[in-house]
Amino acid sequence: MGEVVAIAAVGRNGVIGAGNDIPWRITEDWARFRAVTMGHVLIMGRKTFDSVGRPLPGRRTIVVTRDEAWRNEGVTTAATVEQALADAARLAPEATVFVAGGGEIYRAAWPLIDRLEITEVDLEPAGDITFPRIAAADWVATGRDQRDGFAFVGYRRRTGSAANDCTAGAEEGTRTLTPEGTGT
Ligand SMILES: NC(=O)c1ccc[n+]([C@@H]2O[C@H](COP(=O)([O-])OP(=O)(O)OC[C@H]3O[C@@H](n4cnc5c(N)ncnc54)[C@H](OP(=O)(O)O)[C@@H]3O)[C@@H](O)[C@H]2O)c1
**pLDDT, mean of residues 36-59:** 97
**pLDDT, mean of residues 70-91:** 97
Was domain 4-172 assigned CATH 3.40.430.10? yes
Given a cut of 80, whether residue 86 has pLDDT beyond it is: yes
Alpha carbons 174 and 51: distance in angstroms, whole number: 24
What does the pLDDT look like over 126-181, one tens digit per residue? 999 999 999 999 999 999 999 999 999 999 999 887 555 555 444 444 443 433 43
- State the distance between the two ends of the chain, measured CA to CA, in whole angstroms: 27
Q: 17 CB under 6 A from ligand 1?
A: yes
Given a cut of 50, whether residue 182 has pLDDT beyond it is: no
The Å distance, Cα 15 to ligand 1 centre, comes to 14
Alpha carbons 26 and 19: distance in angstroms, whole number: 18
Residue 103 CA: nearest ligand 1 atom is 15
Instruction: pLDDT band for 29, please (50, 70, 90 cuts).
Output: very high
| Protein residue with least CA distance to atom 7, ligand 1 | 102
Instruction: Please state, in angstroms and as integers, the Cα–Cα distance from residue 95 to each residue in 2, 37, 50, 85, following that order.
Output: 6, 10, 24, 11
> Per-domain residue ranges for the chain?
4-172
**pLDDT, mean of residues 39-61:** 97
**Percent of the chain topping pLDDT 70:** 88
pTM over the 0.85 mark? yes
Question: Which amino acid type is present at position 103?
Answer: G
Determine the pLDDT at residue 108: 98
Determine the pLDDT at residue 160: 80
**Widest Cα–Cα separation across the chain:** 47
**pLDDT, mean of residues 76-99:** 97
Q: 51 CB under 6 A from ligand 1?
A: yes
